[in-house]
Structure 1
Amino acid sequence: MKIKNQLEKIILKSGGIKFEVLPSGDIHGIYYNNESISMYRANMLDGMLANIYLRVTKDGRSGHTKLLGVDSPSELKISGNQMLYEGEFENVRYKVHFKLIGLNWFWKVRIEGEKGIFGEVFYGQDVSLNYPYANEAYVCQYLDHSVRLSDGAYHVRTKQNQGPAFILQQGSLTPNVAFATDGFDFFGKEYKLDNKVKALEAGTLPSRVYQYEFAYIAFQTPKRELSEPYEALFYASLNPDWEANGLEWKSVKELQAIHDSVPDEHAYVAYPKIERAISFQDIYPYLPFDDSELKEMFPEKMFLEEEDGTILSWFSEKGTHYVTGDKERYLERPDANIITNQGMRDPEIPGIASTNYIFGVFNSHLSLGNVQFNRLLSRNKTPLNVLKTSGQRLFIKHEGKYKLLAMPAAYEMRFNSSAWYYKVDGDVIKVEAGVPANETYVRLEFSSRLGRKYDLILTEELVMGEAEYLHPLHLDFEGDAAILSFDETTLAGKHHPEYRFRMEIESDGKSRYSGDEIFYKDRQSRNHPLLCLELENVSSFSYTIKGLASKADIQIRNLEEIKEEYYALHMENMQGFRLEIDPDNPNHREIKKLNILVPWYLQNALIHYAMPHGLEQYGGGAWGTRDVCQGPAELFSAFGRFDLVKSIILKVYERQFHETGDWPQWFMFDSFGYIQADSSHGDIIVWPLYLLANYLLHTGDKEILNEVVPYTTIRTGEKVNPESIHAHVKREIEAIKSNLIPGTHLSGYGGGDWDDTLQPVESELRTTMASSWTVALTIEALETFLFACDSENEIRELVEEIKKDYRKYFIKDGVPAGFVRIEGAQIKHIVHPSDSLTGIKYRLLSFNRGFISEIFPKEDIQPYLDLIDKHLLHPDGVRLMDTTVKYQGGIPKIFLRAETATNFGREIGLLYVHAHIRYLEAMAKIGAAERLFKGIKVINPILIKENVKNALPRQSNVYFSSSDGDFPTRYQADRDFDKLRTGEVKVKGGWRLYSSGPGIFLRQLINSFLGINFLDNQLYIDPVIPKSLNGLKFHFKFKNHELNVTYEIEEEAGVNQAIVNGKVIPRNTNLRKYRKSGVLIPDCLLMDKNEIIIKM
């Protein structure tokens, strides 16, 4: 048996435009040169995302159909650059005539019916205008949709603001009455449940510009009685270089002339209609559990989430999260779970990872080792489950017909597994997928509650590399096991020819492997990379995918054993973390939420470290230099795993560029380690020193300075010239000094700082502008290194000079500027009350790092807090700036991404949770306990509406990297930004999981809030807790000593005394500039189990 990976395509070309058409009539892709015009690649199992729809209404009842491709009644004919689709639907005959002319293409739809029948035509096209395999959501965030009404029709122009300078203009040369710009407005959120297109069911398109993450341009014609033939003529026209050609709209007259310049063909080649036996679009219906069924099956429910009396989600005591399909009615980002081997390990040891989704994606993006190059299965394509071949899916034969399992009645997420529950004629089917703690395999189990027998088809869309359709597939069999290996042309095959995946099946019925041929009536394969397992008469089966990195096999265990072992290890990795407070305390519920949240954030943080990728940002496999020095390093510091912190330090210093002493912005850390960025932002060089200095502070391990690691060359990634860490630090400091703005001790801005959206447009700003955040970070890193090492007079002198220049250049009228631009004697303050250039007055990062580095005078603390409250504080947290960077059509003048992104999300939306967590750290530094606790509560996703009244529903067990104002466009966000502060505008969760945020959150919770720290390898307790939590108890392990800590709070920061197993220890440190510090407890006073009372 062979599975091919190359679809048969018919090519239409004109003027650099290429249409790849499948024999079914589906458009596989539209390209200009090597860039993609369309977003999603079609196939003959899914059909195409773009389409033309006919809606027919008679006697008040409506029906609709696609007119193009395998899911339509059409027959296809092609002649040159023209195509003809013909068919009939509900007594309406239609023809769709396609022409490709130069950089323009046209769809002419002619429909004929009879009196009393009314017809409407809908046009929809997904849009990319970028690299064919780019992240779809990210691409959409830089597509600018503008609308024009002329000649009785709407026209939409989509401009690519980042990447190829493309504009795609679409519309109709005949009247249309409505439009949409995003797939969420066309398909609707409920599509995930019922597979029904909202626009076709609801009546009309919304006619609004929605700049979101699913670019889909749609038009709707007027409703016409079909007693006479009716025609609609749609067009698309590409401007391949708007920077050279300008931004003019093409007129209807011009486009009509182009269309008419080429006569219609009459001699076509007909293609036989492709008939499917089974359809991925034929889903098993969503059948919810009623309340009594939910009570019977899931009696334990903590933090129950409801909407209008309908149960949406809940947690168990152990943190298992359950979601009903009904919650998906409210979500743009579907519930999903990444499962991997446990991550507290060397990340160069290959692990296995898989991503699953609530709507029946049981495994996807399944990878062994590097998640970018070593993929077995394809990833989920759309957030609405429109395209359904991706990943691993399951069909069930119901009432004589195979149906795809999609939305379950309930979805269960654990730290290493997920389960789906489906109601089927009185039975409950459970499908469960999980990974063990250490062995590299994924196990799928199917069971019937009643032991009923079913016929099933398990499908897997294969990648064996980076993406489907790219690489040859090598499939072999050993008995009942299927084995896949990487082709030698793939990066995975070149580096790991020994890697392979072995699939094994155990069932109580019959099973056999097949390919995509079983989905067609003629049983002929169409070369789709689909591996299928047909199962007959089974009530249970288990299917194991082993990721084998060597010749040795792996012993398999069932999921119950796997879950128990993983949970026990996960709790061990948490060092016994548990909080308690009196049930009568008003904050009892919030404290219990933290007990549920912490193990989930630990899971998130370990994925970011060991197998870096996320749900929306699925590409990965690399460490950001800045990121790994924060999230993973701070996570391991908080949990006392300094062996892993040390490992990170050595790996990071090994990546220091031999030529410059600087670092790459990001790098891969496994066998693909030669893949790296060749430059970085101005702050990146500081982070390795910041990490090293804090490691020295916490552990006292100065021997690390004598460890020898090589440098890395910029162009080849070769490891050269090994030297001690101490020598690396000297190179690092010399490089920092060489990057100072002439005449100052301020680091040049380089490619930017932490906020990636503020990359400079003008190249000269790299060397003439400085960031107050970067400079304060540099001061902190150098001072911490000095404190930990107590030497290096040269560094001490440098720090003092930097401090002087910080005060000289950044502080104006008592307020820190976000940036200064220095050209000779001219100083321009940017993001400051005096700034007339940007109109932005305050930057959170300047305040945060000033507090954390303790560079501000104590008397300035309260005035700065007042400014934060007035200008930056919102119901959902603290925003990056007091107002938006103004969007002016995507033509940047100062800051690149901030002025080209069209979606008001992620950093553009200004509430980036990472920065909010650093605000929490700042509040701990100054002893603002109530602010700190409130800041923790508002970013906890568990029942978030209890603390953020304007929050929209979101997944409850995962880290969101941002809180995004629910504005459809940047223009509306600019206009109504203040409504976020008042709560009039709703906020929703941004991208999930792939962030250093979970790690730094856990550090702030444990080290800053609860005050459990390492200082010179001893226990240092320095909490900042509000009086409202008096009596709080914390259970935690410190170097294998069990700590039971009780907080008696009279003052909200620092420690007056500690009572350790009955022995009183007064405060014995003076380490804080703005408040009292904590107490250092010698190891000799600690026993195996310790009762500690902290009197604050």
Structure 2
Amino acid sequence: MNKINSFISFNQDDMSYKFLPTGDVFTFTWDEYLVNQFRGNIKDGSANNIYLRIYENESITAYPLLGIQSNSTLSSTKNSLCYEGTIKDISYKVTFRPVNNIWFWNINLDGYQKTVDLVYGQDIGIGTATGVFSNELYMSEYLGHSVFEGDNGYVICSRQNMPNSGSFPYIQQGVIGSKAVHFSTDGLQFFGLSYKETNVAEILTSDLKDCNLQYEFSYIALQTEKIQLNGEHALSFYGMFLPNHEDAIKEIEYKDTIQSAYVESIKISENYVATEKITLKSSFAAPYCSEPFTKEEINARFPERKLEEYKEDALLSFFTKDHSHIVTKDKECLVERPHGTIIITPPNNKEVDSHLISSTQYMYGVFNSHVVVGNTDFHKFLSTPRGFLNLLKNSGQRMYVRIDGKYRLLTLPSLYEMGMNYSKWYYKLSDDTLIITVYTCTSHSDLVMEVSSEEKKSYDYIITNQIVMGNNEYTKDIEYTTIKDGLRFELDTDQYPGLHYDLTLPGQTYTLSDDRIFFEEGIAFDETFLTISLEQNSGFELRINGYLSDDEELSNKQYSFETEKASALEFYQSLIRGFELNHPNQYNEQIDILNQTAYWYAHNAMIHFSMPHGLEQPGGAAWGTRDICQGPMEFFLATENYDLAKQIILNIYSHQDINSREWPQWFMFDRYTVNAGECHGDVVFWPLKIVADYIMATGDESILAEVLPYFNAPESQESLLEHIRYALSNIKETRFIKGTGLITYAGGDWDDTLQPASEELKEKLVSSWTVALAYQTFLTLGHALEMVDVELAKELKSLANIVKDSFHDILIKDNVVAGFLECNNGYKHMLHPDDNSTGIHYRLLPMTRSIIAELVDKNQADKNVSLIHKHLKCPDGVRLMDCPAHYDGGVSHLFKRAEQAANVGREISLQYTHAHIRYIEAMAKLGEHKEAWDSLFVINPILIQHTVKNANIRQSNLYFSSSDGAYNDRYEYEKNFDLLREGQIKVKGGWRLYSSGPGIYFRQLVSNVLGIRFAKEGLILDPALPKELNGITFTYQCFGKTITFEFHISEANELIAINGDKEIPHTSLNNPYRHGGILIKKEDLLASGDIIKVYTK
């Protein structure tokens, strides 16, 4: 199976222009830089095109002029391409001519008494090809567009603001011979959300938006002035690429260079040779998009629904009692981020296990994609969809069905159902319903697809599969061998010899082919695009089995969807210890929300832990050291999954660098040795902190004697305690600002958008958040080691006191904790009211961490909260800072990413959900019970508009990592930032699923809001519940025993637990901010009944 290699290529200097045989763009590259964003394919064409629009009878009809989607004939020379044809009595000729790093689309029209215009659209990546292929959304976020008006109308210049191989690539696009009178800059404006349903670019029947939208699909569009055709008319669109543009874009540049190249391009006269015509078979028709189910049809299928979401009278989504989430087509057409999920083999709950299979699925007809066993970067079997509008439809695994004599690609279903280990698509036909179910199995790394007709009707099917066998598509030829009922694909690696995938259709008769089946000419262009045809079939099963070695045989186990669904649900129920909230006296929507969230965030957390990747972030395969120490670790400690918590610790310490004595920012945790090679300044503290947290929760001091290697010196093995000493020696020797207890910034902290642009400043900078974390780590580890090493414990507590003194004496000025401190012949407080350089005066992280760590007293804690509420709190959550960093065309002056990102999203929008969760933790500790409870729902996607009135509709069952103000660009954001505080601008959900956030959220809910915490001596009860929840019950397994806690909230000044009519013996705990919790010994808890009444204030 050969990858696509039939190209029409033009190479000039370092530029290479590569077209498919249809004339569709495949890649424009300069050395390692990729100019376009999407690689076209012969079946679908490419994302770019030029459209001739004809105005007739007050309507506009658009016709593509390029590639497979057009009716053009194609011819070529060694230096150019020519597209020719006739539309509505208008003859056209489009000539592509490159002149080194500048290219022209020279257009000649010939017609009479016609009113037309032309619309040009081009997707742009302008970053290293590796970077764009890794994540085109991320690259777009840093691609800054500048729009100017020149002699020929609008000119758009785009600069990659984040250094790519040390450079800042640049592209300019415009018109010659006419005027560009309208423009747009993002594919969302051009194609629109309706594209998912219609398969037609939304903008083609109206004017372009004339708005510089900086989103995640960089797509430059230009619309010419209207042309009254009465004979011939000529004009050109052009693009110019430069590998580096150091400065911010201030004006239209390179006019003379472009004009000279243009003159050269129209001089060239060559004899064109016609290329072979490629024609799509007439048996393939437009994609199939289902009609919606009626209300009666939905009622029949799902009579019991929970947490129904409506827009006006239209049902958008709902949950079921078994924690499935169902979405209607109506909702999918409203959301920017398409509904999708990741399903995995339920992981081993005793050890870190790589022998799991994973699949990413999307509502718009991607039944499997990014299918991988083990490493989610290097072991891909099927490719990953690109973009969020289903533009190119060759990725992953999809399906055509012959309906009324035509093959139709299944896209949007009537309903899309997601569960813990499955997705299900319901396609309503005129007289039938097709149901496609894909699920993972609990006992093997097997992925099963079941296709059925409810009316038992037979259809012809074509299943398409874009095979990768590595990191990215189009990188290698594919080989397979025939096995019983299917094919075996081998991916031998040095780390996993014998790794292979089996694709089988048990008991079926099928025909294998490739993309040739789509074309009249019967020629194969991409043999890695595997097609499987089945004829007259009313239902079948397809399996993908993933194996990490060659000594594993094909699983012939008979699976049942209902059995596997129940088994997966049982796994998650056990994982979260039977979590269930109830209010016996009244319905409470919020309680219903949390019961669903517990399961879905457990699902999200296990993907982050065991198969790290997400929907918007398909790359992963590694543990972020900081992240793994938070989300998974806190989740496992909150659920008594101590075996996994221990395995995390041992794995992390085995990756400690023997030279730096620290840990990399991230590392692959399987047999691959890839890691970041460097880390931020806070990273060294997290592995120390989790050992302390683990020992304090479990009492398992034996872990300290575990003998472990160092990452780059496997022969040097020492006990975990010696590893701790080794890291501590580095902190003492290299991380303190001389004469103080302040910790150096050393490359960054949690918010790496604020990394200084100046390398020199890194050595002189202090992050007060890192200092607070250091204090908490030293103090907690000191307590944890008291019975193991008295002297070391004493030293750690002494270090904590030194840090505490410096935090109060230096970092707090005028009762405000500075975000940063610059130490340079004195102290300069940054991100503080005294800061005149950044314009930023308040930073959230040190204010919350200093409360969580109990580093500040009650007086200062209250001041922190007052400042947060006044300056940082918005209706959609608390923000990282009181205003954004200044944006100056993407050039860094003080900070790197904070000043480089052109998009207002993720950390740049400043409401990073993870940080809001830490705010909840601080509120619970401080005794702000109602604030802690209410804040859980500000960031919960289920029915979020009930809490956040300005929230946009978003997917309800997956964690979103940020809440992003719906600003068009950074300039609008900076000017109108106060709209966020006022709730006067819409806020959108950010990237989904791949985060430590779900695990941390679960832990805050269980351990700090409901107040159920495990300690080595027993169970801590320390609820932080508002009085409105009086009577709420919580069922949870503690020490293997299922207990229902009844919470009775009164004005009493003490907390007591009653079993029957007897108070359970306990010890009161200290909290510097409020009345503390109580500790019940394990044996006393186990001797009590199944119902415990908790009386609390």
- What is the TM-score with the length of structure 1 in the denominator? 0.96
Match of 2:717 among 713, 722, 725: 722
Match of 1:392 in 2: 397
Match of 1:560 in 2: 562
1:296-348 residue CA offsets vs partner (Å, 9 max, x unmatched): 22222211111132221111112111111111222110000100011354334
SS at the partner of 2:774? helix
Cα distance, 1:79 vs structure 2: 1.6
Contact 1:82 1:265 in 2 (8 A): no
SS at the partner of 2:368? strand
Contact 2:1065 2:1080 in 1 (8 A): no
Contact 1:151 1:252 in 2 (8 A): no
Counterpart AA for 1:782: F
Counterpart AA for 2:49: N
Match of 2:727 among 708, 719, 732: 732
Contact 1:517 1:523 in 2 (8 A): yes
SS at the partner of 1:275? coil
Match of 2:369 in 1: 364
Counterpart AA for 2:778: L
Contact 2:434 2:453 in 1 (8 A): yes
Counterpart AA for 1:222: E
Distance in 1, matches of 2:364 and 2:766, equals: 48
Question: Bigger shift: 119-128 or 246-255?
Answer: 246-255
Match of 1:995 in 2: 995
Cα distance, 1:119 vs structure 2: 1.9
Match of 1:349 in 2: 354
Cα distance, 1:112 vs structure 2: 2.2
Match of 2:174 in 1: 171
1:352-375 residue CA offsets vs partner (Å, 9 max, x unmatched): 000000100000000011010001
Contact 1:4 1:528 in 2 (8 A): yes
Match of 1:103 in 2: 101
Cα distance, 1:933 vs structure 2: 0.5
Match of 1:234 in 2: 237
Shift >4 Å, 4+ stretches: 244-248, 251-254, 278-281
Contact 1:852 1:925 in 2 (8 A): yes
Match of 2:666 in 1: 666
Cα distance, 1:246 vs structure 2: 8.2
User: Is 1:746 the equivalent of 2:742?
Assistant: yes
1:210-231 residue CA offsets vs partner (Å, 9 max, x unmatched): 0000000001112323332232
Distance in 1, matches of 2:118 and 2:913, equals: 44
SS at the partner of 2:915? helix
Contact 1:475 1:482 in 2 (8 A): yes
- Mapping for residues 23-62 of structure 1, pairs under 5 Å: 23-62=21-60
Are residues 209 and 618 of structure 1, via their aligned partners in 2, closer, same or farther at CA, if it must alter by over 3 Å?
same
Cα distance, 1:382 vs structure 2: 1.9
Counterpart AA for 1:822: C
1:39-63 residue CA offsets vs partner (Å, 9 max, x unmatched): 1111101211111111223334443
Cα distance, 1:681 vs structure 2: 0.3
Cα distance, 1:77 vs structure 2: 1.6
- Mapping for residues 945-1094 of structure 1, pairs under 5 Å: 945-1051=945-1051, 1056-1065=1055-1064, 1068-1085=1067-1084, 1086-1087=1086-1087, 1090-1094=1090-1094
Match of 1:114 in 2: 112
Distance in 2, matches of 1:927 and 1:1067, equals: 21
Match of 2:866 in 1: 866
Contact 2:1059 2:1088 in 1 (8 A): no
SS at the partner of 1:494? coil
- Mapping for residues 79-94 of structure 1, pairs under 5 Å: 79-94=77-92
- Mapping for residues 601-640 of structure 1, pairs under 5 Å: 601-640=601-640
Match of 1:126 in 2: 123
Counterpart AA for 2:559: R
Contact 2:357 2:445 in 1 (8 A): yes
Contact 2:365 2:411 in 1 (8 A): yes
Counterpart AA for 1:96: V
Counterpart AA for 1:869: H
Match of 1:768 in 2: 764
Match of 1:799 in 2: 800
- Mapping for residues 919-930 of structure 1, pairs under 5 Å: 919-930=919-930
Match of 2:458 among 419, 428, 453: 453
Distance in 1, matches of 2:248 and 2:575, equals: 59
Are residues 1026 and 446 of structure 1, via their aligned partners in 2, closer, same or farther at CA, if it must alter by over 3 Å?
same
Match of 1:218 among 216, 221, 225: 221
Distance in 2, matches of 1:535 and 1:930, equals: 59
Question: Bigger shift: 118-127 or 296-305?
Answer: 296-305
Distance in 2, matches of 1:1061 and 1:662, equals: 52
Match of 1:255 among 255, 258, 270: 258
Contact 1:498 1:551 in 2 (8 A): no
Distance in 2, matches of 1:1023 and 1:319, equals: 26
Distance in 2, matches of 1:1038 and 1:597, equals: 20
User: Is 1:289 the equivalent of 2:293?
Assistant: yes
User: Is 1:812 the equivalent of 2:819?
Assistant: no
Contact 2:477 2:528 in 1 (8 A): no
Contact 2:781 2:796 in 1 (8 A): no
SS at the partner of 2:354? coil
Question: Bigger shift: 13-22 or 858-867?
Answer: 858-867
SS at the partner of 2:598? helix
Distance in 2, matches of 1:1055 and 1:417, equals: 47
Contact 2:1059 2:1089 in 1 (8 A): no
1:204-259 residue CA offsets vs partner (Å, 9 max, x unmatched): 11010000000000011123233322323111112222128986523555523321
- Mapping for residues 784-863 of structure 1, pairs under 5 Å: 784-790=780-786, 791=790, 792=792, 793-824=794-825, 826-863=826-863
SS at the partner of 1:532? strand
Counterpart AA for 2:449: L
Question: Bigger shift: 633-642 or 787-796?
Answer: 787-796
Long gaps (5+) in structure 1: none
Question: Bigger shift: 1060-1069 or 999-1008?
Answer: 1060-1069
Are residues 278 and 883 of structure 1, via their aligned partners in 2, closer, same or farther at CA, if it must alter by over 3 Å?
farther
Distance in 1, matches of 2:568 and 2:484, equals: 31
Distance in 1, matches of 2:849 and 2:248, equals: 45
Distance in 2, matches of 1:954 and 1:5, equals: 37
Are residues 1082 and 1017 of structure 1, via their aligned partners in 2, closer, same or farther at CA, if it must alter by over 3 Å?
closer
User: Is 1:200 the equivalent of 2:204?
Assistant: yes
Distance in 2, matches of 1:461 and 1:500, equals: 16
Distance in 2, matches of 1:1010 and 1:279, equals: 60
Question: Bigger shift: 269-278 or 728-737?
Answer: 269-278
In angstroms, what is the RMSD of aligned CA positions?
1.7
Question: Bigger shift: 253-262 or 367-376?
Answer: 253-262
Match of 2:505 in 1: 505
Distance in 2, matches of 1:483 and 1:68, equals: 38
Distance in 2, matches of 1:1065 and 1:545, equals: 54
Distance in 1, matches of 2:602 and 2:753, equals: 28
Long gaps (5+) in structure 2: none
Contact 1:280 1:388 in 2 (8 A): no
Contact 2:148 2:252 in 1 (8 A): no
Counterpart AA for 1:456: Y
Cα distance, 1:1066 vs structure 2: 5.8
Cα distance, 1:1060 vs structure 2: 3.0
Counterpart AA for 1:65: Y
SS at the partner of 2:889? coil
Distance in 1, matches of 2:966 and 2:7, equals: 41
Cα distance, 1:820 vs structure 2: 0.4
Distance in 2, matches of 1:243 and 1:16, equals: 19
1:784-816 residue CA offsets vs partner (Å, 9 max, x unmatched): 111222232222222221111111210101111
Counterpart AA for 1:683: D
Match of 2:321 among 317, 324, 332: 317
Contact 1:905 1:965 in 2 (8 A): yes
Match of 1:695 in 2: 694
Contact 2:345 2:357 in 1 (8 A): yes
Counterpart AA for 2:722: A
SS at the partner of 1:561? helix
Distance in 2, matches of 1:382 and 1:388, equals: 11
Are residues 546 and 17 of structure 1, via their aligned partners in 2, closer, same or farther at CA, if it must alter by over 3 Å?
same
Match of 1:495 in 2: 495
Give aligned pairs, total: 1077
SS at the partner of 1:361? coil
Counterpart AA for 1:569: F
